[in-house]
Amino acid sequence: MRRKLLLAPLLALTLSTVARAEGLVLSERDGSDGATFIDQLKAEETGPIVLINLFDVAPEDAADFHTRWTAAADVLRRKPGFVNTTLHRAVGASRLWLNRAEWRSLQDFRAAMRSDDFLAIAKTMKQQGFRRIYTAEPTQGPLSFP
């Protein structure tokens, strides 16, 4: 039986919390999807990577979260290998925020994550999110018509 992973019901909480989607349990701590974020950081992947973080942010914490995310992004965008990042906020009453960041390589991303200036900002963020690293397939743009 094929399971559909629906983004809407995902709740990416802190490392001690579990997110659920149609029977698939995603946990940062136990590698319930086959790997942990730490396992992924140790991989020997070459080429460009994409980091996707899904955060559950209480409405009263939204402004503070955005400010801290912006500060972290400002530090990371100055690191070698950084390509871009975009923070997405779910529409409506959803508490979900999604960060998508592209890096030239996993090695560059690892170095940035270990930098003192990034670690100082990361420690101030309440929300850790559900994080995974991906390789990117070729981009599919719009169809063009004659």
Q: How confident is the model over 81-114, as pLDDT tens digits?
A: 999 999 999 999 999 999 999 999 999 999 999 9
More confident residue, 28 or 18: 28
The H-assigned helical ranges of the chain are: 37-41, 62-76, 106-114, 116-122
Q: How far is it, in rounded angstroms, from Cα 114 to Cα 137?
A: 27
Model pLDDT for residues 44-71, shown as the tens digit of each residue: 877 899 999 999 999 999 999 999 999 9
Q: What is the pLDDT of residue 18?
A: 39
b or e along 19-58 (b: 16 or more beta carbons within 10 Å of the residue's beta carbon)?
bebeeeebbbeeeeeeebbeebeeeeeeebbbbebbbbbe
Beta 49-56 vs 130-135: how paired, if at all?
Answer: antiparallel
- The DSSP call for residue 81 is T
The pTM for the full model equals 0.75
Strand, helix or coil at 54?
A: strand
Residue 34 DSSP code: S
